[in-house]
Every structure is written in C-alpha cells, then in structure tokens.
Structure 1
Amino acid sequence: MSTLSDPPKGSFRLSMLLNDTRYRSMTLQVIAAIALASALFYLYSNLAENLRQAGLNISFAFLGNSAGYDINQTLIPYDSQSSNMSAAVVGILNTLLVAFLACITATVLGVMAGVLRLSNNWLVRKLMAFYVEIFRNIPVLIWIIIIFTVMTSVMPSPRDFRGAEPTTTMLWDMFAFTNRGVYVPGPYFTRGIGGADGSVFNWLLVIATLVGSFFGARFISQRANRIQEETGLRPATLWTNLAIWFLPVIVLCLILGLSWEMPALKGFNFAGGIKIGGPLIALWLALSVYTGAFIAENVRAGIQAVSKGQTEAAAALGIRPNRVMSLVVLPQALRVIIPPLISQYLNITKNSSLAIAVGYADVTATLGGITLNQTGRAIECVLLLMAFYLVISLSISAVMNVYNNTMKLKER
C-alpha cells in the first residue's frame, strides 16, 4: 500500500530571493531600506562636509544662553534673562493656545454654517453661502491684518477709560475692551496643598479632576447605551452627567479657595486680571472664520452624503426636524466629515505661523525669528521648528484618527 507524503524540500539558493514569492517581497523591502539609508547617509555626509568647510558645526548649546528679549504674552513665568529654551517653550505654548482656541471656534462656526447652508430659508442659505465664498477665497494673512487693524483703530485706548464717558466704561466692572487687548478677571487660589497664589499643583489638581469627570461621564453614557441595547429603554443621563462634570470641580475650587483678581486702571494701562492681547485675538478670529468656511463645506458635503431616505424615515416616525438632524443625519455624516476635518485642524496649526505679521510671539516668532537672528544658528533653529510642527501635526492626526475609527460603520 502506497502512502502520500510532502515532496522533499529543496536546498536554498540565492536565485530564490527574487524568483520565489516567499522571499521576493522581503528582498525588495531590504533593498529599498538599504537605498534609503545610503541616500540619507550621503546627504548627512555632504551637509557635514559643507559645514566643516564653512567653519560651522551643529550645536544646540545656544538654548542655554540668555534670550535677552521680552515677550508680550506668556503662559509661564518668563523675562529677558530667561534662556532661549524658555523663550522657545513660551512660543510653543502660545502656538498651541491659539491653535486650540481656533480649532474649537472654527468647528462650531463651520458646523453651524454648514447646516444653515442647507436651510429652507432662502435668506439664511444665501448669507451662509456668501460667508463661505468670501472668507475661503481671501488669504488668511489678509484677514489677520484686517481684524488686527480694525481692532486697534476702533477700540478705545486704556487712557480713555479714565473719563466718565459711558462708551469707555468697563463691562460689569470686570471686562475692559481696549485697542491693546481684552482684560478679564484672573482666577487664583488662596489656599491648597501647593500653597497660595495659584500654584501649579492646584491647577494640575483641577485638570486631573476634569479628566476624571470626563471618564466618569463617559462611563455613565456607555452604561446607558448598553441598557438601551438590552431593554430598548434609555435611562436619563443629562442631570447625572452635569453633576459629574460640575460638582467635583466646584467642591475642589471651594476647598482651594478660588478667588478672582479684577483688572483695574492704574496709570496709563490696566493691571491685574488676565490680558488677552490684540494680536492673539486677531489671529484667533482670523483663523476661526477662515478655516470655518472650509469646515462648513465639509459639513455640507457630509450631510448631503446621507441618503434622503434616512430623513424621510425619521420624519415618518414623528421625530422633529431639529432632532432628525442631531440624532439621525449628523451621526452618519461624521464618517464623511471627520477625514477632511483632520486636514483643517492641521492647516490651523500650520497657519498660526503667520502670527509674526501682527506681533504675536508664537514659536516661529521666538525660535525661528528673534532667537535665530541673535544667535545665528539658522540650521539648528529651523531643524527644531520642523521637528515641532512635525510632532504636533502627527499628534493631531493620531488623536483624530482614533476618533475617526470609533465613528466607522461597525459591521457584523
């Protein structure tokens, strides 16, 4: 009786690296990796040789030297005697601040404009179309300059508040709108484990509480979703989530002794509170209205990508039109809206480098501007700038892609 067995395996030959499909893809990848490494090594060697011939060397020791210049708006303690590294960190934080604010405002504005562009009201629809076509077809740099010029020309100067004219009085004795910026009450803590005067530890404790509230509210919502899937009835979560969000923070602020420092006119300027500078406001508003026009088109395209039968089915069930948009249309449209929305967030972050046009000290103005000119370390400063924008862009893409994966259609 004969038996079947596998054919004997042949010995390995070098020709199999290209002819055998089991090894061909790996061989090509190794060849591509070697070619890329060789090209990078050649470019680096060429750069090092040219720098050596020019008497230059790449060194980042200048980051420890004194910066020697002031910055008009900072989120951390800084003065002219601080290091170039501190100036770069201040610029990075200022860039992240305006990018974060502009992303939120542009998203809200874009969603509203995108939905209203499909309104049944002719006037509202045309107004939103006018907004989109005007703002997205004019460069953002021009909008930054226009908003900054209007703000500095129309708003009163701080010395005008010294008179008794009703047009130059503070709003509720707490807010002052001037051509130098907006002055608002500043929070600080009078007690706490980290000490008074608004210590960093107390603020980190507040942030940690907010993060815990976020996960707590998310747990409650997910639990309600499971109950709805099992029973068909969804328990009420609105008041529970509001309590989870606000009660812990309010109690913590009361324990830490949260107080407010009011801005007051002293001499020729306001002192106390928090100053939101004119350059920050101009850059924030310009990036928001400009990018919001693009987001509006993304939202309109996403809504129109949803089948009209979904709207008709929801209306047949007796759901009100505004609830149809929020519960039926927008959740499905997000699968189309989110991918281009990621690109708009990246554009906001990179367009913030235009802040130097109005004197806002972002990372391009500090590290890529004043520090570069004072130290002469152009290569090092440019490399650090490239690394920062690359890291922040990849981080935004990673976070948004995680959210995009959660919104994908789940198939059985």
Structure 2
Amino acid sequence: MHDTPPSTAARAIQALIVLAVAGLLALLAVTAAGHLAQRGIRSGFDFLLEPAGFTLGESLLPVDAGDSTLRAFVAGLANTLRLALPGAALAFGVGIVVGFGRIADNPLVRRLASAYVSAFRNIPLLLQLLAWYFILTDLLPAADAALRLAPGVYLSKSGLALPWWGEAGFELPEPAGFGIDGGARLTPEYLAMLIGLVLYSAAYIAEILRAALEALPPGQRLAALATGMTPRQAFRYVLLPQAWRAALPPVTSQLLNLFKNASLAVAIGYPDLVSVAGTSLNQTGRAIECLSIVIAVYLLLSLVAAAISHRLERRVLRGSVA
C-alpha cells in the first residue's frame, strides 16, 4: 500500500496553522519586549556579542572571560554533542549485548541481564549520575596513586588519562610527581555523565530489542533450523532483521531521549549548553533569551534526529517490501 499524498486543501490548512502559530509567537515576543522596556529591563540578543565574563574549565573550544557570549554558547553546544554522540553509540552497543543476554539460553546470563535492566530502569537517572560522580570523585585514589588500567591508561579522582596526540606526537600518560603527565584527560564530570547516560539508556534499548525478538513467531526459528542453519545463523539472518524493523522507531526515540537527558549535566558541573545558558542568565539577566536559545537548539536537534529516524525507517521498510 502507498501513502495517499496530502490534498491541496490539507496543505493550505497546515500552512495556515503554521502561520497562526508563528504570528502568535511574534505577538508574544513583541508584547514581552514592550513590558520589559517599560520596566527599564534590557532585552534582545545583543548580549551574545558582548564579553561572556566567565570561562569554561572543560571545553573543546577554549573560552576566556573576554570572549563573546556567543562563543561560550557554541562551546557549550560542542560539549553537549561531545557527550551525547559517543554516549548514543555506546548505549546502542551495550543495549544490543544486554538485549541478546535477556534471551540467551544460559540461565545465568539471562538473570544477570535481567538484573541489570531492572536496576538501571528503576533508579532515576539523576540519582545514577550523582552516584557515579560520587564514586569517581570520592572513592577513587588521588592522581599520585592512580589506578593503572592498561599501558598509558590511568584512572583517579582527576579523571581518566588516555594516550593521545600532543605537540611532540603520540603521547602516553605517565606518573610524574603528584599527577599524570602527557596524553589526554577525561574529567570526572564527563565520565560520570557518559557512564550514567550509557548504562541508563542501554537498559531501555535492551528491553526494546528483547520485546521485538520475542514478538516473532517461534516457528520462524524452527523453520530456519530445519533448512540447515545453525542457531547463530538463524538468529542473525532470519530473526534479527525482522525484529530490527519493529525495534528501530523506539530505539531511535530512546537515543533521542539520551540527547535530552544530557541536559542533566548541569547537576554535576559539566559545562554543557544548559550550564552555559544558566551562567549567562546570571551574568546578563536575559532569562527569556537564554532559555529560548536552549529550547531552540534542543528543538532543532530533536527535529534533525527525527528526520534521520524517519529516513532510516523508510529505508528499512523498503528493504522489507523488496
């Protein structure tokens, strides 16, 4: 079956609704600006070009007090993406592994996967983030007694030191004095957010995959085995492609939730977009403007993710029809 294209009348109605909403938002903005002007309160987005007045301790894009507030917002957005993008990839991978464990033949693996899902789904994410931050900052040893996880990899209260490229080439972190020199650092704030988001989101993804796999008729696995396939081949070539078609929409929705949940980073001091907006609000008093920037950015990210998800769904559905 093919979707019926919308009629001209339906498109006209949709356009009128969009114009009406845009007009209402413009009216609200003009009205709010007028009331603020009457009270002598500055408004507008000109503050973005003024000096930020604060620095970011952790950022891919360095920000000094003399840099513009716009640069600080861009740096905050970069920090959000630096957290959310690898978090989404890791959550997807962990979710697949745990989802397979939920339907494994080994009872011990099934119980462990079930316990993981139950624990991480039923504890609020904010509490998990605070718990991970406490573990990383209070229970780990100091930098001068860091745990050596692998050659050039050290974990301590100061974060995770990893091999990375420096000015002199590829550098391996090494203990030196009261800390670790060389390589790159992942701060405790970043690690706590990454671990918390990945483990929390992976629990939901695992359940989505389990439900999709168990919803398939059991006769399909038996038929695949009857053709000479091994259990692993039956799962990979017969069951998983069908389950993936049903699981794709809720999985992408959960990954989108991970992006939005990254806004909780302000609770443990990671300088993401929300944190920069809060600091700028305190510096300038432009509450409406700062909040509208955050809302607009997250709305744009959601729309982009939704468009990608819709495109993937259509491609998967075309493949199933073919």
SS at match of 2:180: strand
Match for residue 239 of structure 1?
Answer: none
Residue pairs, 1:129-208, within 5 angstroms: 129-160=114-145, 168=147, 171-172=150-151, 174-188=152-166, 197=167
- State the 1:67 CA deviation: 2.3
Find the aligned partners of 1:63 and 1:183 in 2 and give their Cα distance.
34
The 10-residue stretch of structure 1 (46-55 or 175-184) with the greater mean CA deviation from structure 2: 46-55
Distance 1:69 1:335, change over 3 A: same
CA, structure 1 residues 267+299, in 2 after alignment: closer, same or farther (shift >3 Å)? Answer: same
Structure 2: tracts of 5 or more residues without a match: 1-6
| Aligned positions, number | 315
Residues 338 and 377 (structure 1 numbering): CA distance in 2 closer, same or farther, change over 3 Å?
Answer: same
Query: Match of 1:356?
Result: 266
Instruction: Identify which of structures 1 and 2 has the higher relative contact order when contacts are C-alpha pairs closer than 8 Å and 6+ apart.
Output: 1
For 1:88, the equivalent position in structure 2 comes to 73
Q: Does 1:285 align with 2:264?
A: no
Closer, same or farther in 2 for the Cα pair 1:145/1:37, shift >3 Å?
closer
**Which is further off, 332-341 or 26-35?**
26-35
User: What does residue 227 of structure 2 align with?
Assistant: 317
Residue matched to 2:291: 382
Let me know the Cα RMSD of the aligned residues. Answer: 2.4
Residues 1:405 and 2:314 aligned together: yes
Letter matched to residue 378 of structure 1: A
Which residue of structure 2 aligns with residue 68 of structure 1?
53
Normalised by the size of structure 1, how large is the TM-score?
0.70
CA distance in 2, matches of 1:322, 1:311: 10
1:75 corresponds to which letter in structure 2?
Answer: L
Deviations 1:309-364 (A, max 9, x none): 22112111221112222221111111111101121111111111111121111111
1:38, CA displacement in angstroms?
A: 5.1
Equivalent residue in structure 2 for 1:295, among 195, 199, 205: 205
**CA shift in 2, pair 1:40/1:133, >3 Å:** same
Distance in 1, matches of 2:67 and 2:22, equals: 39
Task: Say if 2:145 and 2:156, in contact at 8 Å, map to a contact too.
Answer: no
Instruction: Give, in angstroms, the shift of residue 391 of structure 1.
Output: 1.0
Q: SS where residue 408 of structure 1 aligns?
A: helix
Q: Kindly state the Cα deviation for residue 35 of structure 1 after the two structures are TM-superposed.
A: 4.8
Identity of aligned residues (%): 34
Q: One-letter code of the match for 1:147?
A: W
Matches of 1:323 and 1:99 in 2, distance apart?
33
CA distance in structure 2 between the aligned counterparts of 1:346 and 1:393, rounded to whole angstroms: 7
Structure 1 alignment gaps of length 5 or more: 1-21, 162-167, 189-196, 199-258
